[in-house]
Amino acid sequence: MNALRRLFAPVLLLALLATLVAAKPWLHGHLEPFVGPMLSGAFDIAVASAAWLVAAWAGAGLIALLAAGKGGLNPDGTPRPPRIPRLLADLLRFFVYGAAVLAILAFVFEQPVTGLLATSGVAIAVLGFALRNMIADIFAGIALNIENPYRLGDWLELSPGVTGRVDEINWRATRLIASDGTAIVVPNGIVAGSRFVNYSRPNPAFRSGVPILLDQEVPVERAKRILLSAMLCADGVLSNPRPDVLVDAVTPNGISYLARFWTDDGARLSQVRDAVLTAALANLGRAGIEPASPKQDIRRRQPVLHDTERLRRGLLRRPEMFDAFDDEEVEALAQAMHRVDIPAGGAAVREGDAGDSLFVIAEGVFDVEVSVSAADGADGGFRTGPMHVTRLRPGDLFGEMSLLTGQPRSASVIACTDAVVFELARSHLDPILRRRPELAEKLAELMAERQTRNAAQRHRQQGAAPPAPVESQALLARLRGFFGL
């Protein structure tokens, strides 16, 4: 609407000047007796020249109207691009005014323009040789705007370490804003003549990866399972498309894995890489695995074992549930636990099933789901379906209420990846509680706090008010009854 208002003035003025040009005989007849033939001819020249210039003004306004964007944002949050790229619109306006000047010379002053063009061609050639690099950048910018390989707001990687969001595309250069806020100005000729990566096209989600080198003694499937579970828990990594792990190379120092993930925010790519590597190192550390080091390093390394006593003890020491147990008791429980392998998509436990054991996650990632009922508007009945509650990662435990009270499983726990868990049964815990009954009170308090947190999280997801806290005394009574204390 504003562009149409700006176009109104030149069109109105052009109509007035066109009327004066059309009425030139009548004007000559009335002006020449008063001002003389010289001033009357000068007036004709001024009116005709002004008409051509105003026509060029109107043409430039029309180009601006066609080039104006629709305004607003695209569905992905990026600003909508203009209909005609800015550089192309500037070039069209330049030609419109240039054509108006030539028309004035040819039709108003009746001067031959072919000689002028030939003479100016020599000057242009000399000037072009002196400014060849700048001219190359200008024409590269025009080509980039016509092909439109990137737009304002896109994230580009021009070379390793040179990444930023496109902030401006002008006649000579493209300006990027890096994730640290600094501006990177790159001549258009360099951009057009080199390979670059557009992370924002064809869609905002793009894939990146981090290399991780592990010893050859680590089984490949186990390494992939640990690294995949780390990416699924890292902040900023999209769950769909699903991340994956590839064997990138086999080197004298170990096996190089490429942990590939998808993200949709180029501004946070460094933070997402950091989250992936941090989670990977944490998962490897819990599994007793260290990144590979050069073989020239002669320091003694701990042997990489698939199932060690230290790993079992570490898994039991991580949850707060076993804080009240002494080292001897933790050692006894670690020895009693047995390993369970669960394939991706398999259920460790199902909601409603009977059980008297808990599980500690050694490797892999699990989703916790509960069944919910909701009114069905079609027939007034009810429909049921799973609701995602939380995601569990290595070191977390689940099933503790069934272990301590014998109640049915309150949720389904589904493996997102191939996983390894260790199961601790009631028969393993019973001798310790009989020997130290005071542990039951501590366990009841911890379980009451845990149940209160889980219930509050579930109610937040459903948009309901927070529930009342779980009473530890009620849990303690059930625990003592279940174990016969």
- Rounded distance between C-alpha atoms, residue 169 and residue 304, angstroms: 54
Does the bond joining 85 to the residue before it have cis omega, within 30 degrees of 0? no
One-letter amino acid of 12: L
The DSSP secondary structure of 48-79, one letter per residue, reads HHHHHHHHHHHHHHHHHHHH----SB-TTSPB
pTM: 0.60
CB-based contacts of 391, cutoff 8 Å, min separation 6: 232, 233, 365, 366, 367, 368, 416
Token couple for 453: 């947190």
pLDDT value, residue 258: 94
CB-based contacts of 159, cutoff 8 Å, min separation 6: 194, 196
pLDDT value, residue 377: 44
Q: Residue 407, CB half-sphere, CA atoms under 13 Å: how many?
A: 11
253: exposed, middle or buried (Cβ count in 10 Å: 0-12, 13-18, 19+): middle
Q: Helix axis angle, 24-67 relative to 2-22, nearest 10°? A: 160
pLDDT value, residue 378: 43
The Cβ of residue 200 has, within 10 Å, a number of other Cβ atoms equal to: 20
Q: What structural domains and CATH numbers belong to the chain? A: 2-130 (no CATH), 149-198 (2.30.30.60), 206-286 (3.30.70.100), 309-372+385-483 (2.60.120.10)
From the first residue on, what is the mean pLDDT of each consecutive set of 10 residues in the chain (485 residues)?
Answer: 66 78 70 68 79 83 70 54 64 79 78 64 57 72 79 82 82 83 86 82 83 91 92 90 91 91 83 92 87 66 54 76 82 88 92 89 90 55 69 87 85 91 88 84 80 70 66 78 77
pLDDT value, residue 305: 44
Q: Are 158 and 192 in contact (CB under 8 A)?
A: no
Token couple for 253: 């120092």
Q: Which residue carries 């640290």 as its tokens?
A: 180
Q: Are 412 and 347 in contact (CB under 8 A)?
A: yes
The Cβ of residue 103 has, within 10 Å, a number of other Cβ atoms equal to: 18
Task: Tell me the H-state helices in 375-438.
Answer: 400-405, 426-435
pLDDT value, residue 297: 52
The Cβ of residue 218 has, within 10 Å, a number of other Cβ atoms equal to: 20
Q: Residue 105, CB half-sphere, CA atoms under 13 Å: how many?
A: 12
